[in-house]
């Protein structure tokens, strides 16, 4: 029942959006917040993930799945605290949701940043990452060949930008060594962020009086406890 209250409502709202963009915030050590916009790519649930990856907080329940921006995977700040991310989707549907959960990155990066990676167990996480990457348009795939967002352009910045690839083919369809190399660069810079929710707070603004519900899951539990609170 608790899953229906927030998971199905969120999935329905995202389907109505022109583009499923959500605001994502994390706390970096010791307490520096960072916010960026991410594109939601789907859910992984018990039906699609019979044996979820084993880590202290992972059970059979919906996981919000998004792809990162390149500065998220390769940011130059402190180490992110994987226990306290906040995913804040705000679709134009009269419902506002704030999700808190455990954050994991695919693939694992050795750079300063996210250090958690789901372990494989009857589910090929790398295959999933490549599939999501391949489902993007050729122009979107090409953006992962650019330098880290925010990197200063040199004196010949305009000319430098003209050298960036405009489109990339699907993985396995490269027609030249140059395309193969660029695909390798783009895929190497591409990551998925997996959010395993343990708290979801959503407000229904499209009804009068407004309603607000808080769903919380205790460590080791599969079910969410649902509580009605003041909007």
3-state secondary structure at position 33: strand
Of the pLDDT bands very low, low, confident and very high (cuts 50, 70, 90), residue 19 is low
d(CA 192, CA 70): 10
| pLDDT 10s digits, 128-179 | 888 989 999 999 999 999 998 888 988 888 899 999 999 999 998 998 999 9
**Residue 57 in this model has a pLDDT that exceeds 50:** no
* 188-206 per-position pLDDT tens digit: 888 887 777 888 888 888 8
Cα–Cα distance between 190 and 11 in angstroms, integer? 24
- Which residue is associated with the tokens 């959010």? 195
170 backbone dihedrals φ, ψ, rounded to 5°: -70, 160
User: Quick check: 54 pLDDT over 60?
Assistant: no
Q: What ranges do the domains of the chain cover?
A: 2-229
Compute the mean pLDDT over every residue in the chain, rounded to the nearest whole number.
72
- Can you count the helices (H) and strands (E) in the chain? 7, 8
Pairing of strands 95-106, 225-229: unpaired
Per cent of the chain over pLDDT 70 is 67
pLDDT recorded at residue 127: 85
Q: Is the per-residue pLDDT at 217 higher than 70?
A: yes
Query: Residue 88 in contact with residue 97, Cβ under 8 Å?
Result: yes
pLDDT of residue 110: 46
CA 77 vs CA 23, 60, 91, 194: distances in Å: 19, 33, 29, 20
The pLDDT value recorded for residue 162 is 92
User: Phi and psi of 4, rounded to 5°?
Assistant: -60, -35
- One CATH from 3.30.1130.10, 1.10.3470.10, 3.40.50.2300, 2.30.110.10 for 2-229: 2.30.110.10
The contacts of residue 159 (CB under 8 Å, 6+ apart) are none
Write down the pLDDT at residue 167: 95
The pLDDT of residue 204 is: 83
Separation between Cα atoms, residue 66 and residue 192, nearest integer Å: 6
Whether 25 has a pLDDT exceeding 50, the answer reads yes
């Amino acid at each position: 029942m608790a899953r229906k209250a927030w998971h199905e409502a969120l999935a329905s709202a995202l389907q109505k959006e022109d583009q499923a963009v959500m605001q994502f915030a994390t706390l970096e050590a010791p307490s520096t917040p960072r916010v960026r916009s991410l594109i939601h790519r789907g859910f992984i649930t018990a039906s699609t993930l019979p044996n979820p990856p084993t880590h202290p907080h992972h059970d059979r329940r919906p996981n919000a799945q998004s792809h990162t921006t390149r500065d998220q995977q390769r940011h130059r700040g402190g180490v992110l605290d994987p226990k306290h991310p906040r995913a804040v989707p705000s679709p134009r549907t009269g419902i506002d949701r704030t999700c808190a959960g455990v954050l994991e990155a695919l693939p694992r990066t050795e750079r300063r940043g996210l250090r958690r990676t789901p372990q494989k167990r009857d589910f090929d996480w790398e295959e999933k990452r490549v599939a999501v990457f391949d489902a993007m348009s050729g122009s979107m795939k090409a953006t992962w060949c650019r330098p880290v967002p925010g990197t200063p352009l040199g004196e010949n910045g305009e000319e430098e930008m003209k050298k960036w690839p405009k489109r990339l083919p699907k993985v396995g369809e490269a027609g030249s060594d140059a395309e193969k190399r660029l695909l390798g660069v783009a895929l190497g810079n591409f990551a998925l962020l997996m959010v395993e929710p343990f708290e979801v707070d959503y407000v229904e603004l499209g009804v009068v009086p407004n309603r607000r519900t808080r769903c919380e899951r205790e460590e080791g539990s599969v079910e969410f406890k649902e509580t009605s609170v003041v909007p």
